[in-house]
Amino acid sequence: MKKFIIPLSAVLAFLFFSCTVTQQTYRFAHHGTDSIKTNANFKYVAKNVLGKAKSTIKISAWNKLKQQMATDGLLAEAKGNLPSLKANQAYANLSIDELTTTKGKQMQGGVNVNEITIEVVVSADIIEYE
């Protein structure tokens, strides 16, 4: 009987602790140069400046939520992390990327999610009107 306890324990431990599933989804939006005054002279001051924000929600075994909050919203926080503009400057070619990552255990009926991470990345060019 002792010969079967150790291998059986190892198999059960493998089944309970190693079946973590990670899924990631991606969405984006791009706003080009629609708002740029095409009849005015401008120059690029900086290209591909970034602003990022992230929030993670962890659901514990006791159904309590542990969360890193973005109090003003992720998009507002990411835009707030972009470099400040000076006089006669504007953002151009604005892109918004949203990555959602879920982690959980594989169950018979699907995935039992225990962690969700949402990250928003805003990138833009900075132009200056002359």
Does 28 map to a domain? Answer: yes
Per the structure, the count of domains in the chain is 1
Residue 25 counted as domain residue: yes
**Model pTM score:** 0.72
pLDDT tens, 96-113?
A: 999 999 988 877 777 778
The answer as to whether 117 is a domain residue is yes
Can you give the pLDDT of all 130 residues of the chain as single tens digits?
A: 556 676 766 666 666 655 778 889 999 998 876 656 666 788 899 999 999 999 888 876 555 555 556 567 888 999 999 999 999 898 988 999 999 999 888 777 777 788 889 999 999 999 998 8
Q: Which domain holds residue 46?
A: 19-129
Q: What is the DSSP string of 64-105?
A: -EEE---TT-HHHHHHHTSPPP-TTEEEEEEEEEEEEEEEEE
In the chain, the percentage of residues whose pLDDT exceeds 90 is 32
For 53, the token pair is: 């924000």
Residue 4 belongs to some domain of the structure: no
Alpha carbon distance 94, 72 (integer Å): 20
> Is the distance from CB of 109 to CB of 32 less than 8 angstroms?
no
**Does 8 fall in a domain?**
no
